[in-house]
Amino acid sequence: MNFKGKVAIVGIGEVPTGKFPERPCLQNALEACKQAIEDAGINKDEIDVVMPTGTFFDRRYNTNMVFSQLVEELGLLGKARDNFQVFSGGSSSSTMLKSACGLITTGLANTILCVQSDKVGSAPVQEMIDLFATFGISEEWETPHGFFMAATGSLVATRYMYETSTTPEQIASVVVSMRKWAALNPNAMLRREITIDEILASKMVATPFHTKEGNVLADGGAAFIVTSTEKARELPGIPVYPLGFGSRVFHYSMSQDSDITRLGFPEAAKEAYEMAGVGPSDIDFVELYDGYPVYPLISLEGLGFCKQGEAGAFVNAGNTWPGGRLPMTTNGGMLGQGHTAAGGGVALLVEAVRQLTGKAEARQVPNAKIAVESSHGGTFMDTHICILGREVP
């Protein structure tokens, strides 16, 4: 693969995730961009492509992103070659990074600023429930039956528990793991640890999931800068290399997915490992997309860390906690850090880079050299796996 060793992530930025009604969304984007530029130690005028991914809370704001507002704000008018959107919902981390790799290796771009921002946490709750009820839910074939985004994980979990005999306690232990990491993350929204009993005693939303097994919508923003390895070597920081990608798209409407307990993971994982030239035993930590607590279990199995049906016991035994054998989703995920619409994957990618460059402070994974990041868009319409490393094997 001709991007391997030729492209590097050189800077990251992120604003705290949460409900900040007084913080304009533009501020989320701009502060994340400024942090990423400073983190990279790069002259901002060297950014020749600005790539703002999609925003959900407001159509006009999203149009502003498409129409180069960030180029103007960052003083790149007349210098930037392109401003355009790469957007696949929650998997935009991978699709932006892949696009950046392609543009840089072909010489169509030198340095790309990828940024995500949204403000779905401050809007009235019922308004956001009704808005999200329309996302990825087929108007003609699903909406009339009362289906909605917050029930999507439930359909997966019901079948997964049926096929694997995974228990409600084991599923809830994923939330326990997420909250333990979130407690160590100053950018996280839900920083209080939680017990399995508390989770299972919370109000039922859509069986088998309770309120405390749901993600919480939040405002946030994150950015990362991608450039050539040549350029990265001139910069002061530690570059992080994308080593392999694997992905599959398997539905638009969840009711058409014929294998919802695997979600394309086995195929995508094989692709990514082969491209990177590594296997599960080489991975030091994983940044797995959550949304709902069943998904990291399917991910651990699909990526080869557990046999099918054994991930629940693996997580419940503490293997993914801080200090565990396989640190998982060390920012706390959307169950701990918060769900910023398309930002779930971007936050994980930024966290993977943070860990690999030794900047994760209280939650730093020792000797973090190779990571797997996963992300999904829509109603888990796709699976994207990205393997990242400090070195090119």
Q: Where along the sequence are the contacts to other proteins (CB under 8 A)?
A: 126, 129-130, 133, 138-148, 150-151, 154-156, 158-159, 162, 203-208, 211, 214, 253-258, 260
**3-class secondary-structure state, position 112:** strand
- Of the candidates 377, 299, 291, the one whose C-alpha atom is nearest the C-alpha of residue 86 is 377
Q: Which residue has the tokens 């991975």?
A: 283
The least distance separating other proteins from the CB of residue 146, rounded to whole angstroms, comes to 4
Per-residue tokens: 47? 């950014």
**Measured from the CB atom, is 258 or 281 closer to other proteins?**
258
- Partners of 387 in beta bridges: 244, 372
**Measured from the CB atom, is 158 or 364 closer to other proteins?**
158
The least distance separating other proteins from the CB of residue 213, rounded to whole angstroms, comes to 12
**Measured from the CB atom, is 290 or 373 closer to other proteins?**
290
**Measured from the CB atom, is 155 or 188 closer to other proteins?**
155
The least distance separating other proteins from the CB of residue 386, rounded to whole angstroms, comes to 28
Q: CA 260, CA 151: separation in Å to the nearest integer?
A: 14
Alpha carbon separation from 123 to 62, 135, 187, 242 (Å, rounded): 16, 16, 20, 36
**Measured from the CB atom, is 2 or 207 closer to other proteins?**
207
Q: Which residue has the tokens 């929204």?
A: 189
The least distance separating other proteins from the CB of residue 120, rounded to whole angstroms, comes to 14
Per-residue tokens: 88? 């696949």
> Inter-axis angle of helices 152-164 and 294-302, to 10 degrees?
60
**Measured from the CB atom, is 146 or 366 closer to other proteins?**
146
Helix or strand holding residue 244 (H, E):
strand 241-249
The strands making up 370-375's β-sheet, listed across from edge to edge, are 241-249, 382-389, 370-375, 285-287
The least distance separating other proteins from the CB of residue 209, rounded to whole angstroms, comes to 8
- Of the candidates 98, 113, 106, 100, the one whose C-alpha atom is nearest the C-alpha of residue 44 is 113
**Measured from the CB atom, is 164 or 319 closer to other proteins?**
164
The least distance separating other proteins from the CB of residue 217, rounded to whole angstroms, comes to 11
Cβ(25)–Cβ(225) under 8 Å?
no
The angle subtended at Cα 333 by Cα 327 and Cα 337, nearest 5°, is 120
End-to-end C-alpha distance for the chain, whole angstroms: 13
The least distance separating other proteins from the CB of residue 193, rounded to whole angstroms, comes to 24
The least distance separating other proteins from the CB of residue 142, rounded to whole angstroms, comes to 5
- C-beta neighbour count of 109 within 10 angstroms: 22
**Measured from the CB atom, is 144 or 186 closer to other proteins?**
144
